[in-house]
Amino acid sequence: MKQTFFYATMALLMLTECTGTEFTIKGKSTDFADGYKAYFVRKINGEAVIDSTVVKNNSFIFKGDAPKPHWAKLGIMNSTEDSDGAITLEIIVEPGNIVVGDYDEENVGQRTATGTPLNDGMTRFFTEYNVINKNTSLSFNEADEQRCALISSYVKKNADNELGIFLFERYHRLLPKEMVLELCDILSAGNPTLYADLKEETIKWLEDNARAEEQAKSVLPGNNYKNVSGRMADSTEVQLADVVAKNRFVLLEFWATWCAPCMGEVPFLLEAYDKYKDKGFEIFAVSLDDDRDAWVSTVKEKGMQWVNVLREGREATEKYGVRGVPSNYLIDCSTGKIIAVKLRGNELAEKLAEVM
């Protein structure tokens, strides 16, 4: 009887130890300052679950159970929980020891997680992607072809796991339509349950994208501008047409505070505006922000004294086929024609010097 109990107990212990669903996430980097808070955010049974810990000795650790691999986000920020300067990272939570270390600009091009099969696969992908991006001997088209081939290869190899869907969702906008549809079919076949709605959503995105491309063609240089409107910080509605009627040249600028390239353009806009605002130049900036407070405070802090409005719905972006920001259109008010698009950096000031 004792022997039977002993073997039954051992079998239970072995079963418990061999389930293989436990994970550990260890972070170690001088970037993780003592006193910072580390956040671990994931979904369990459809519900968002947030865990947190305080960084000590430039380290943090999370432990838990992952019966199935799933996505999560890590965030490390200062004690005031100010999002400025926060470190964020997406990882695949799976059984094993996951290690988050330093930002690897030379090899990987970003901070990554390693130590488990899917996270190691993601690191290999980023490393190969970084090699292509840093190869200055490649033409733009050659680099683009290599990137597309790499993305396609990794998605196909990981069609039955979380890495495949992550890479598809992140990069499918860079791929040709035919490749997108091919990968969509492969993913759907590889994991029908996980990707049940993938093809329907992807086809809808492709259709929306095609409509946006057609709209974008209608506002190329030489075409008439299209009137849009929005509300200023004081809730006053402003029409682009009214601003055009009062000026010589107007830059219609689509942007957002969460868009790093947009914020990088602000100094150039400020310089051009300061130089030409008294000569009949105005900017009509349409923000795509959902966070109204962030928009208001950014406009004030940056000294953006031109016409700033918050978009209402999608009408403005749909009229211009805007698929990404920053995006802009320079309007000759005397004719109502668009005379330049996608002016970045010093290009705006150079164009204004030419026409004014």
137-194 residue pLDDT tens: 988 789 889 999 999 999 999 988 889 988 988 888 778 888 888 888 888 776 666 5
- DSSP alpha helices (H): ranges in the chain? 2-17, 117-133, 140-157, 162-171, 177-190, 198-217, 240-245, 260-276, 292-302, 315-320, 347-355
Phi–psi pair at 291, nearest 5 degrees:
-90, 100
Quick one: tokens of 282?
């105005």
Cα–Cα separations (whole angstroms), residue 142 to 131, 139, 148, 352: 13, 5, 10, 34
In a domain, 288, yes or no: yes
Q: What whole-number distance in Å separates Cα of residue 13 and Cα of residue 11? A: 5
284-294 as b/e: b if 16+ CB within 10 A: bbbbbbeeeee
> For the domain that residue 235 is a member of, what is the CATH number?
3.40.30.10
pLDDT of residue 313: 83
- pTM (two decimals): 0.58
Domain that holds residue 307: 229-355
Sign, Cα dihedral of 157, 159, 163, 166: positive
Give the chain's length: 356
**pLDDT over 90 (residue 34):** yes
Q: What whole-number distance in Å separates Cα of residue 356 and Cα of residue 345? A: 18
Q: Which helix (H) or strand (E) holds 47?
A: strand 47-54
In a domain, 8, yes or no: no
| Structural domains counted in the chain | 1
In a domain, 60, yes or no: no
Quick one: tokens of 217?
């063609």
In a domain, 183, yes or no: no
Q: What whole-number distance in Å separates Cα of residue 331 and Cα of residue 15? A: 71
- Per residue in 16-31, pLDDT (tens digit) is 343 578 999 999 999 9
In a domain, 321, yes or no: yes
